[in-house]
Amino acid sequence: MTESDLNYWKAALNGVVPKHLVTPEVVALRYQQNKMLNLMAKKNADYGNAFNKGCDKLGYRYGLARMYDKANRLVHLIEDDFQGYSNPNVEDESMFDTIQDLGNYCNMLLAWQASNEGYEPAIPSKGRVETVFIDISNLVKTDKLILIEETSKRDVTNEIIAAYGFEHLCKDKDGYVYNLSADDKEIPVTSEHKENIVAISHEDYENNKLRKNDVKHKR
């Protein structure tokens, strides 16, 4: 791998891996991860998202069962390999194909578990290494977060969705909302009154209203 290639990957992995830790071994692993992700996306489409649907219905043990099946196949293939026999009955799935499938099952279960607990994928900032943006599109879509004006505290969720949609909404660590543009730039979201927008939970929103009412009563 040339120095130019390595510099490319340092830029490509900016916000994911510190530059000084990007080595040819890290790049090789990322390349393999990309191949596995491509395979997972194709199989997931062919199977109609069966893995996540199974986990949604039966819980995480559904994912463990799929992993167990694949791991059991891998054990048999490894035993055959050590005995010098490498001719599996299913000819279009080699031992290394099985390893790849098992790896995907592991990652799919972890991704499902994280999503089920309310975590959303982080979007590394392209321009500011120290800033991390959190994808909140699904949380807004499922009404787990509401969008309010920073100063007035007015709920403007419907207004923002009408203006921006919810597919590319994200927030920074302080809760300020951005819209991810087609060229991966974070554009601050503002209301029709030109106020910055903050994403908060329903519980925090109600608590803010209670505190505001308490202040009014004390006056």
pLDDT tens digits, residue range 189-213?
999 989 999 999 988 888 877 666 6
- Is there a single domain that holds both residue 15 and residue 39? yes
- Is there a single domain that holds both residue 27 and residue 82? yes
Provide the 3-class DSSP secondary structure of residue 183: coil
From 41-45, 47-51, 71-75, 162-166, the region with the lowest mean pLDDT? 162-166
Does the pLDDT at position 92 exceed 90? no
- Is there a single domain that holds both residue 170 and residue 184? yes
Helix, strand, coil: what percent of the chain each, to 5?
A: 55, 15, 30
Structure confidence at residue 159 (pLDDT):
93
Does the pLDDT at position 215 exceed 60? no
Structure confidence at residue 126 (pLDDT):
53
- Is there a single domain that holds both residue 194 and residue 108? no
Number of domains in the chain: 2
Q: Express each pLDDT in 117-130 by its tens digit.
A: 766 666 655 544 44
Q: Which residue has the higher pLDDT, 219 or 207?
A: 207
Structure confidence at residue 12 (pLDDT):
82
Distance in angstroms (rounded) separating the CA atoms of residues 164 and 171: 14
Per the structure, the complete domain to which residue 198 belongs is given by 122-218
- Is there a single domain that holds both residue 59 and residue 35? yes
Structure confidence at residue 90 (pLDDT):
73
Distance in angstroms (rounded) separating the CA atoms of residues 185 and 9: 19
- Is there a single domain that holds both residue 79 and residue 179? no
Does the pLDDT at position 86 exceed 50? yes
Host H or E run for residue 62: helix 60-82
Q: Which residue has the higher pLDDT, 109 or 8?
A: 109
How distant, in Å, are the alpha carbons of 64, 71, 101, 182 from that of 40?
A: 17, 17, 8, 24
> Which pLDDT band, with edges at 50, 70 and 90, does 114 fall under?
confident
pTM of this structure: 0.55
